[in-house]
Amino acid sequence: MFTAAAESLLHQAREIQDEELQGFCSRIIKLLREDLGPAAVDALQRLFLIVWATKYPRRLDKTCVDLLQATLCLPTCPEQLQVLCAAILREMSPSDSLTLSCDRAPNTRQMSLVASVLLAQGDRRQEVRSVGQRIFTVLESRQPEGPSLRHLLPVLSKVVGLAPGTLQEDQTDLLSKRLVDWLRHASVQQGLPHSGGFFSTPRARQPGPITEVDGAVASDFFTVLSTGQHFTEDQWLNVQAFSMLRAWLLHKSPEGPSTLDTDDKSELEGSTLSVLSAASTATRLLPPWERLREAAFEYCQRLIEQSNRRALRKGDADLQKACLVEAILILDVLCRQDPSFLYRTLSCLKALHTRLGTDPGSERAVLPLAQFFLNHGEAAAVGSEAIYQHLLTRLPSEHFHNPMLAFEVIRFCRDNLPLFDLHLLGILKSSFPNLFKFLAWNSPPLTSEFVGLLPALVDAGTAVEMLHTLLDLPCLTAALHLQLRSSSSPSERPLWDASLRTPSCLEAFRDPQCQGLFQHLLRTKASGSAKRLTLLHQLLQPMASCARVAQCAEAVPSLLQAFFSAVVQFADRALTTQLALLLLERSDSLYQVPQYEARVHRVLSSQFLALCQRNPSLVVELARELLEFVGSVSNIHSRAGVFTSVVWAIGEYLSVTCDRRCTVEQINKFFEALEALLFEVTQSRPSADQPRCPPQVVTVLMTTLTKLASRSQDLIPRVSLFLSKMRTLAQGPASSSTHSEEDAEAIRIRATELLNLLKMPSVAQFVFTPSAEVCHPRYHRDTNTSLPLALRMVSRLVEKESSLLPG
């Protein structure tokens, strides 16, 4: 974050001990008393670094603190020294040794610095109230040639935010009047330069008219978008008044007009009288607050008109966009507070949206515009689907690489979910592939936002497609990478761009034969699932090492957990079956990003078990697919976690207790398939083509075979013989070539436990296929009926040493 030199300075500042600091304070005391020059500036800069760099508050000598306060209020002190003194005192806050007061400040600039220190105290002595009262005193007594308020307005805005209840009604009226004057009556002539040169003449210093951003002479009142070489005092106040306008409107009437109830408001919105009365509100007879609303409305209307002009400088163009966003937000506040503004605003904003559709640089203004129509569209009976389509279709497709816009769009969707009607919610759900582009490109900061948004995006119609999309999210990141780079020349790409090292990816992206795959991956609406996933993964494999792809892959497990948590709330049996099949299918078809497959397999295995627990008959319904899955040895090595969960689910839920349709023939089929599989993985030696079988898989296979045998007791002799062989094999020297000593011991212990249980088939059936009553807490609390009691009894009955004889 910092350079090596900066890190070194910070380290030195933190290492300074109290004794050294006190000595340094003594030097500063001497400088502040004798010479307020460059040496004092340098010393105060060092002191500020010391008090800023440490987490705990530094204790300064009281004399030093008093001198810092005195210097801050000294009329002849250089401005740089005053700023440093204020910064040091703020870093020491809260402090009991401060004696500052705004009354001691000789001018408004120094008053703003003193106020910043007092506000940092935390209002322990009602500092906020005292600062506000002092500023309003200056505001009330100010004459046309009096002190400048430019330095006090930011402080006043801070006071309003910290303690809005401290302002009295006459003070709020006074500020509203001042804001109206500053917003509507600022000079339209440029200001004089601060100082004239040797060759300056009175003619050369004559101020010219204010101009627009396109260079034309301003034909209306001054706004923040008016331009000039120099500005007058009232023009600066105009800019500052606009910067605090929305906060002041919200402070004065946060919940809207209190004089109108709901019925009156609806009548006002629907009547022609409201439109006519709104047009006459410019009269001076209105109260200050109503005059401010009218002035704010006119100001925002003018800003929208000015934003349509073609700026000559990039800085002015950026300012246009920022002011347009703020103007729409203020209009939204005005219409919420007074519905009579709504009808005067609608035509302007509808025309604005038409213009934004063709302006490539004004995408940030679409969000407040959508918010406006979401808040007022129903009251105004105006269709706004085009705005939401613009927001959810064009913005993610064209600006997925803009992190700030991505965050704002997702927050807009999350925050406004309660306001979305069924139609708009349908548009949102169908646009999830497009919204996922924001997630794929900006996964670290947006993951938590999407975890909260996913439940609103998924339903029975989109669940399967969304699961495919989540599993292929790193592929989407790679495709977006190629889309972005394919539109620029190679000379414009950075040297670390992965597409420079893998030109085959760009060639495949442009290949007409592969267009269908990439078009589906980059689709804007939900449209089903892709078929040729293997080919897609092969084409994008060179991009798997891209850092952004790896970041996206790390976010997928959390998103999968959120997806399944949402789906189980509404999934029926058909959808549960479909998702279970999809888990098995996609567990072997994932984009090969380092460590991605292992992370996803952990989630898929746990979620497969959760689906089976929710619908125990799933194993019987998917008997053919599960038999095919467990019949392949390759599945053990490519997806051991998922395989283990499937085998465990077969042993747990393949019973008449879970599904009446379960038959002995089904149990025998699964038993034979798993027996052959276990025999194959334990008898064959590990090789490069067939690595050793994990011990967890071996123990789960043995346990499942024992469970199935307890339900079809004709199989008990076969599984007992097999378990005896497994115990002997685990104890023999041959096991050292396949398993470690610890793993072999775990296999031996499990085989012995299972053999002991099978010696009493009725107890084995009770243990492996418990009835629903066993789930009752009584079976785990009552020592006479608990499951551990049954296990201890079996252990004693089968002990060779003690047998059943007493003694």
Token output for 197: 């040169």
pLDDT of residue 551 exceeding 80: yes
Please tell me the predicted confidence (pLDDT) of residue 269. Answer: 42
**Cα dist. 708→339, 476, 747, 785 in Å?**
72, 43, 19, 24
Please tell me the predicted confidence (pLDDT) of residue 638. Answer: 85
Q: Long-range pairs for 480-485 at CB < 8 Å and ≥24 separation?
A: 480/400, 480/401, 480/437, 480/440, 480/441, 480/522, 481/543, 481/546, 481/548, 481/549, 482/506, 482/509, 482/518, 482/543, 483/509, 483/522, 484/401
Is residue 209 classed as helix, strand or coil in its secondary structure? strand
User: Is residue 332 a contact partner of residue 372, using CB atoms and an 8 Å limit?
Assistant: yes
Q: Report, as an integer, the average pLDDT of 741-770.
A: 82
Q: Report, as an integer, the average pLDDT of 266-270.
A: 41
pLDDT of residue 786 exceeding 70: no
pLDDT tens-place string over residues 419-448: 888 888 999 999 999 999 999 999 999 999
Is residue 227 classed as helix, strand or coil in its secondary structure? strand
Please tell me the predicted confidence (pLDDT) of residue 409. Answer: 94
For residues 504, 505, 509 and 512, what is the CA-based torsion angle, rounded to 10 degrees?
30
User: Is residue 104 a contact partner of residue 73, using CB atoms and an 8 Å limit?
Assistant: yes
Please tell me the predicted confidence (pLDDT) of residue 199. Answer: 46
CA distance 517 to 505: 13
Please tell me the predicted confidence (pLDDT) of residue 246. Answer: 92
Confidence of residue 779 (pLDDT cuts 50, 70, 90): low
Lowest mean pLDDT, pick from 13-27, 362-376, 421-435, 692-706: 13-27
Token output for 437: 């582009």
Identify the residue with better confidence: 258 or 10.
10
Q: Report, as an integer, the average pLDDT of 174-178.
A: 91
CA distance 135 to 132: 5
Which residue, among 480, 404, 417, 401, has the nearest Cα to 454 in the 3D structure? 417
pLDDT of residue 740 exceeding 50: yes
For the chain, give the percent of residues with pLDDT over 70: 84
Please tell me the predicted confidence (pLDDT) of residue 438. Answer: 95
User: Is residue 119 a contact partner of residue 130, using CB atoms and an 8 Å limit?
Assistant: no
User: Is residue 736 a contact partner of residue 729, using CB atoms and an 8 Å limit?
Assistant: no
pLDDT of residue 63 exceeding 80: yes
Is residue 560 classed as helix, strand or coil in its secondary structure? helix
Please tell me the predicted confidence (pLDDT) of residue 689. Answer: 62
Q: Report, as an integer, the average pLDDT of 623-629.
A: 93
Which residue, among 255, 272, 162, 181, has the nearest Cα to 222 in the 3D structure? 181
Lowest mean pLDDT, pick from 99-103, 465-469, 618-622, 677-681: 99-103
Which residue, among 223, 204, 205, 203, has the nearest Cα to 213 in the 3D structure? 223
Identify the residue with better confidence: 328 or 92.
328
**Cα dist. 580→418, 563, 727 in Å?**
32, 14, 34
Please tell me the predicted confidence (pLDDT) of residue 526. Answer: 87
CA angle in degrees (0–180, nearest 5) for 172-175-177: 110
Which residue, among 332, 417, 326, has the nearest Cα to 364 in the 3D structure? 326
**Cα dist. 515→433, 435, 502, 520, 549 in Å?**
17, 21, 18, 8, 21
Side chain identity at 508, as an amino acid letter? A
Q: List beta partners, residue 227.
A: 211
Please tell me the predicted confidence (pLDDT) of residue 688. Answer: 54
Confidence of residue 266 (pLDDT cuts 50, 70, 90): very low
Which residue, among 430, 543, 396, has the nearest Cα to 478 in the 3D structure? 543
268-281 CB burial, b ≥16 within 10 A, e <16: bbeeeebeeebeeb
What would the DSSP string read from start to end of 244-277? HHHHHHHHH-TT--SS--HHHHHHHHH-HHHHHH
User: Is residue 117 a contact partner of residue 75, using CB atoms and an 8 Å limit?
Assistant: no
pLDDT of residue 30 exceeding 70: yes
pLDDT of residue 261 exceeding 70: no
User: Is residue 264 a contact partner of residue 251, using CB atoms and an 8 Å limit?
Assistant: no
pLDDT of residue 265 exceeding 70: no
